[in-house]
Structure 1
Amino acid sequence: MIACFAFITLSACAEVEIPVAVRIANATPAVSVTARGETTPVGTANADAADDPAIWRNAANPAQSLIVGTDKKAGLYVYGLDGKTRAFLDAGRVNNVDLKEGVAIGGAPGILVAASDRNDIAHAKIALFRLDPATATLTALGKVDGGAGEAYGVCLGRDAGILSAFIVLKDGTINQVAIDANSATPSGKIVRTMKLGTQSEGCAVDDRTGTLYVAEEDVGLWRFDARAAGSTMPTKIAAADGKNLVMDAEGLAIAPVGDKDGYVLVSSQGDNAYVVYKLSDDSYVGRFRVVDGVVGGSEETDGIELMLGDFGPVYPGGLFIAQDGHNAAAAQNFKLVAWDDIAKALGLPQ
């Protein structure tokens, strides 16, 4: 967050960064939780590298679920819930990641992973992969066009059986791309375009209500109609006001509850916190931070992910994952938090 102080002299207005401690002091109070686990650091050291996670839940054996995470300088990691690296795929500069289960891939249902590919910063691509849950490995399927501009965020949604990837370009353009991965070479077609005014990244789709959520970093949280035939006009849910949501507004995650209710979570990167809003009426619920405990806390978080449900004895009610921008002396990694701990701290139903 930048503040500009004007002086009576003719000198230019100076820009200084407001310290994190000041931003925290000015923000709405947040409750504290601790992580129960963490991933091994990404391979790119001394750099802003880890960025965004996605979760695959193993319904038959929840403790054997998998996490896919990006090293935006190098490629994609697959981790177990113990945090250990199961596999790495050199995919180059992939920024954000999402996945969907039960997608037709080459004639058979599978787990499709999509990543925003910015190897060419002038022209966005969506890189597609198959996740093999038995071996915890990724196989590259190909890339589809994401439109002119630098790829940033990506999220997947499904409406009436049609799979869409929403790719958020750095300038706030959002292209909805219809994906067909069922042939030997995947294809994609941009079916409509939406627009926010400035730099945007995090996004998530609620398939139940056909709603797309997008974070505009210095402005706030928005929602769109996610249906291909829907309106392209955004509705603001919350402003980055320096209180509840402190810019940059970064990663997004959804926790569906019942038919229409649940929560949308946003990384309030400017003050190392996470903000929770109610899906049914966009109301503010509360804020929390991940602080030092058995493992370190998380700061300056880019990507987040959340999935409710049984993930075994360590995460029985659900799993929240946050990228950690300051992982002590090691490279960046991802922190794993039990949803039960967050819900208890915020006084939410469990």
Structure 2
Amino acid sequence: MKKILLSTLPFLALAACAGGEKEVPVAVRIANATPAVSVTARGETTPVGTANADAADDPAIWRNAADPAQSLIVGTDKKAGLYVYGLDGKTRDFLDAGQVNNVDLRDHVAIGGNEGILVVASDRNDRAHAKLALFRLDPANAKLTALGKIDAGEGEAYGLCLSRQEDAIHAFIVLKDGTIHQVALDTSAATPAGRIVRSLKLGTQSEGCAVDDRTGTLYVAEEDVGLWRFDARAGGSTEPVKIADADGKNLVADAEGVAIAPIGEKDGYVIVSSQGDNAYVAYRIGDDSYAGRFRIVDGAIGGAEETDGIDLMLGDFGPDYPGGLFIAQDGHNAAAAQNFKLVAWDDIARALGLAE
């Protein structure tokens, strides 16, 4: 699909800021940033149902270990609800859940006495009172079933990521002001419950997050500041450690979605959406060093721009996605509504020269 021409972006960016502080045009931000390698998507989802709006936001991947090509993607339309897609990009289900912003999932979770796939979304239908919306995903028919909602503190729900800890599944809900509540979930009964076990804080608007369960590390993107990590354990330190500044070079504000590529017992990469210049940045897990940048450009399928949410899972996803699957929200999907682009992890790793 055709994209908005790069030559028009400076005028669009400046027009959007008329009457206020002028924003640096996208073309200038791209020119000033560290060079990025190019990859192309191998697939895309059907657009979300909300047209002419910033609507698609965040994806989550469920890998079908028995038949990887039959894996599923859950994606948010933050104006309307949750979609379930197949790897062919076709819509398998839609559930009207209202304004759900970010989403994550975990498999093999006790849900009402039966093991299943737990899907959790940040619910901001009430902007003053954050909630977690819980669902069960049935892999046999790709249907979502609402389980209920859990209070998650005062403020606007924004980012969301899950962690599997010794006692329970924990949800990290990132409020728009940078407050992060860690909520221990109890899904064993018919009605789910949860309690805030501790709170963390960043100074300004934050959203994207991901947890590396191997190392017990929570990664959070503070949009205009940079990428941070916390100890994800309920009894761990609440002090953040900065991994990278949004310096306009490697990471260009807004810093948005966060995803993890775990390799071995403690190595791999954390990926963050460098929304300000339509790129994605990889940092090495362990020493937090910069590993490279890439963009999803137009090919047989359109590229991705102004990406909010991302997700990544390594492993076999069938012949179209060897090595793993990377998914990025596309903020400019030509004349259609926003959607999600699907990229093979092998294509990214090869372009960046990353270790496997």
Q: Which amino acid aligns with 1:224?
A: F
Looking at structure 2, the residues matched to 226 and 164 of structure 1 have their Cα atoms a distance apart, in angstroms, of 9
2:155 to 149, 153, 163: 149
Instruction: Determine whether 1:165 maps to 2:171.
Output: yes
Residue 221 of structure 1 is matched in structure 2 by: 227
Instruction: Determine whether 1:252 maps to 2:258.
Output: yes
Looking at structure 2, the residues matched to 317 and 59 of structure 1 have their Cα atoms a distance apart, in angstroms, of 13
Instruction: Determine whether 1:234 maps to 2:240.
Output: yes
- Deviation for aligned residue 1:349: 2.6
TM-score after normalising by structure 1: 0.96
Residue 338 of structure 1 is matched in structure 2 by: 344
Secondary structure at 1:22 match in 2: helix
Residue 69 of structure 2 is matched in structure 1 by: 63
Q: Which amino acid aligns with 2:318?
A: G
- Deviation for aligned residue 1:108: 1.1
- Deviation for aligned residue 1:15: 1.4
2:60 to 54, 58, 78: 54
- Deviation for aligned residue 1:14: 6.2
Looking at structure 1, the residues matched to 355 and 167 of structure 2 have their Cα atoms a distance apart, in angstroms, of 32
Instruction: Determine whether 1:27 maps to 2:27.
Output: no
- Deviation for aligned residue 1:163: 1.2
Q: Which amino acid aligns with 2:128?
A: A
Looking at structure 2, the residues matched to 342 and 135 of structure 1 have their Cα atoms a distance apart, in angstroms, of 31
Q: After alignment, is 22-31 or 159-168 more displaced? A: 159-168
Looking at structure 2, the residues matched to 18 and 218 of structure 1 have their Cα atoms a distance apart, in angstroms, of 14
Looking at structure 2, the residues matched to 234 and 109 of structure 1 have their Cα atoms a distance apart, in angstroms, of 34
Q: Which amino acid aligns with 1:325?
A: G
CA deviation map 1:60-85 (0-9, x unaligned):
00000000000000000000000000
TM alignment of 1:239-318, pairs within 5 A: 239-318=245-324
Looking at structure 1, the residues matched to 32 and 286 of structure 2 have their Cα atoms a distance apart, in angstroms, of 28
Q: Which amino acid aligns with 1:153?
A: G
Q: Which amino acid aligns with 2:164?
A: R
Looking at structure 1, the residues matched to 299 and 20 of structure 2 have their Cα atoms a distance apart, in angstroms, of 39
Q: Which amino acid aligns with 1:203?
A: C
Looking at structure 1, the residues matched to 66 and 282 of structure 2 have their Cα atoms a distance apart, in angstroms, of 30
Instruction: Determine whether 1:201 maps to 2:207.
Output: yes
CA deviation map 1:92-135 (0-9, x unaligned):
00000000001110001110000000000000000000000000
Secondary structure at 1:113 match in 2: strand
Looking at structure 2, the residues matched to 63 and 198 of structure 1 have their Cα atoms a distance apart, in angstroms, of 40
Runs of 4+ in 1 over 6 A off after TM superposition: none
Residue 22 of structure 2 is matched in structure 1 by: 16
TM-score after normalising by structure 2: 0.94
TM alignment of 1:52-201, pairs within 5 A: 52-201=58-207
Looking at structure 1, the residues matched to 260 and 340 of structure 2 have their Cα atoms a distance apart, in angstroms, of 18
Looking at structure 1, the residues matched to 171 and 183 of structure 2 have their Cα atoms a distance apart, in angstroms, of 5
Looking at structure 2, the residues matched to 31 and 200 of structure 1 have their Cα atoms a distance apart, in angstroms, of 27
Looking at structure 2, the residues matched to 23 and 290 of structure 1 have their Cα atoms a distance apart, in angstroms, of 16
Secondary structure at 2:170 match in 1: strand
Residue 9 of structure 1 is matched in structure 2 by: none
Residue 10 of structure 1 is matched in structure 2 by: none
Q: Which amino acid aligns with 1:60?
A: A
- Deviation for aligned residue 1:161: 3.9
Secondary structure at 2:21 match in 1: strand
Q: Which amino acid aligns with 2:184?
A: A
The answer for unaligned runs of 5 or more in structure 2 is 1-18
State percent identity of aligned pairs: 82
Looking at structure 1, the residues matched to 159 and 266 of structure 2 have their Cα atoms a distance apart, in angstroms, of 24
Q: After alignment, is 158-167 or 116-125 more displaced? A: 158-167
CA deviation map 1:152-209 (0-9, x unaligned):
0000001114210000000000000000011010001000000000000000000111
The answer for unaligned runs of 5 or more in structure 1 is 1-12
Looking at structure 1, the residues matched to 268 and 226 of structure 2 have their Cα atoms a distance apart, in angstroms, of 20
Instruction: Determine whether 1:326 maps to 2:346.
Output: no
Looking at structure 1, the residues matched to 53 and 150 of structure 2 have their Cα atoms a distance apart, in angstroms, of 28
